Amino acid sequence: MRWLTIWAATAVGLAVISHIHLGITASSAQAILVAALVLGLVNTFIRPIVKLLTLPINLLTFGLFGLVINAFMLWLVSSVVPGFAVSGFGAAFWGAILLSIISGVVGWIIRYL
């Protein structure tokens, strides 16, 4: 049940950031749902490996390099999911920041409803 809450919160976050015009676009609701699923899989399997490999940089920047990793994961998802596009790394960076804020708030609301 928890993974369903996270998936729904991520999908809502992706829908919101695709409507803000940051350079992140989604052609349909299906593309958003698939992108949320793929982002969850990427964050589950690939992100821990990348975080381990970049641990020295992450320690030197007091964890701020994690924002770059999140942006890279979002950018990676856009290259895999048709209909979901991120125009560049800057859009991925700001989109990842907004996505974490929005999906965190939505997830918190869903849990306490």
| Distance from C-alpha of 77 to C-alpha of 26, rounded to nearest angstrom | 12
SS3 66: helix
87 φ, ψ (degrees, to nearest 5): -75, -25
Average pLDDT, the chain: 94
User: Cα–Cα distance between 100 and 113 in angstroms, integer?
Assistant: 20
Which residue range forms the structural domain that includes residue 100?
2-111
> Cα 92–19–47 angle (5° rounding)?
30
Look at the chain and report how many structural domains it folds into.
1
Distances (CA, A) of 31 to 45, 54, 107: 21, 30, 20
pLDDT tens for 89-99 read: 999 999 999 99
What integer is the mean pLDDT of 7-25? 93
Number of C-beta neighbours around residue 28 at 10 A = 10
Mean per-residue pLDDT for 83-110? 94
pLDDT for 26 equals 96
pTM comes to: 0.92
Tens-digit pLDDT profile for residues 46-83: 999 999 999 999 999 999 999 999 999 999 999 999 99
Amino acid residing at 54: T
